[in-house]
Each structure stands twice: as structure tokens, then as C-alpha cells.
């Protein structure tokens, strides 16, 4: 199974933001992505990291995937298919639509200490906004 570690980061809240995606479990070795995503809050950046990760999986034909995030907010929203704040509703709907394109999708919360690769990629992406 392919594991996708994701992280969103913002410099300020809101501020310049980035998404980091670290994909492992491929026969060709890991894939890394740093995606600048403009000005937004940290929570929005976390959702965008998941959306970009899902999009990459769909484009590359990765059908059985397990996502890892250090954002409990995102993990719980996806698991429950519900979010309180209206601001995040369109982002959650996009995630739910994209995940249905996959054969098997898992999402799991992990501590930040286990998500260093994705965190570094997200911080690098912040700098790419400037």
C-alpha cells in the first residue's frame, strides 16, 4: 500500500501557505512535492495538502492509498464526513469527491514528530509564494 504523508503550513494565520506531500511505498522510491498555495489559514492549508495529495494519486493511478496527517481537524472531518465551520465545507466536499475516485482510501492521524518530511516540504512551499 502506498503511504502519503501530507502537511499544510502557513507563515501567519492567514499568511503565505504551502502544502507538502511525501509519498512512500513506491518501487521507484519516494516522491516529494512542495506546492505553494497562496494566502490562507493553517487549517485551510492542511485541507489543500490533502486535496493536492489526492489529485496526485488520481493523476498517477495510485488506487490503494493510506494518508497520514498531523492535523486532527482534517482527519476527523474526513472520517466523520462533517465539519462545523462553513469555511471548510467546500474543502471537505472536494476531499470527499476526490477520495471516491480511489479503490481504497484510508486517513490516519500521526504526531508531528512522525511527519517531518511533509512538514519540511510544506515550509519550502511557503517560500515559493514569495
pLDDT in tens, 5-30: 999 999 998 999 999 999 999 999 99
Q: How many residues does the chain have?
A: 130
* pLDDT tens profile 59-74: 999 999 999 999 999 9
With contact defined as beta carbons under 8 Å apart, do 45 and 6 qualify? Answer: no
DSSP 101: T
Structural domains of the chain ordered from first start: 2-128 (3.30.420.10)
DSSP H or E run through 48: helix 42-60
pTM of the full structure: 0.96
Amino acid at each position: 500500500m502506498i503511504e502519503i504523508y501530507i502537511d499544510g503550513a502557513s507563515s501567519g494565520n492567514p499568511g503565505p501557505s504551502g502544502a507538502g506531500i511525501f509519498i512512500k511505498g513506491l518501487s521507484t522510491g519516494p516522491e516529494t512535492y512542495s506546492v505553494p498555495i497562496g494566502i490562507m489559514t493553517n487549517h485551510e492549508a492542511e485541507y489543500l495538502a490533502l486535496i493536492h495529495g489526492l489529485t496526485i494519486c488520481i493523476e498517477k493511478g495510485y488506487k490503494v492509498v493510506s494518508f497520514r496527517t498531523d492535523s486532527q481537524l482534517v482527519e476527523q472531518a474526513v472520517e466523520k464526513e462533517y465539519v462545523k465551520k462553513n469555511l471548510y465545507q467546500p474543502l471537505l466536499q472536494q476531499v470527499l469527491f476526490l477520495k471516491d475516485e480511489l479503490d481504497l482510501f484510508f486517513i490516519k492521524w500521526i504526531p508531528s514528530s512522525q511527519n517531518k518530511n511533509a512538514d519540511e516540504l510544506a515550509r519550502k512551499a511557503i517560500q515559493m509564494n514569495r
